[in-house]
Amino acid sequence: MFRDPYKVLDAAGLEPGQKVLEVGCGPGFFTIPAAHIVGEKGS
């Protein structure tokens, strides 16, 4: 039922160092995975 958020974010082209704006994040299903992907140099 649920997709792997890391696979979805990878397909979206999210990379280390990028800035991310998550609008309407609800329970934050993508929030932590996105933070892991962008790393400390991203925001």
DSSP for the chain reads: -PPPHHHHHHHTT--TT-----SS-TTTTTHHHHHHHHTTT--
Question: What pLDDT is recorded for position 2?
Answer: 66
* Contact predicate 15/37, CB 8 Å: yes
Question: What pLDDT is recorded for position 3?
Answer: 86
Q: Please provide the size of the chain in residues.
A: 43
Regions of the chain short of the pLDDT cut 50: 1
User: Tell me, what amino acid is at 38?
Assistant: V
What pTM, to 2 d.p., does this model score? 0.82
DSSP type of residue 24: S
Rounded CA gap, 40 and 22, in Å? 17
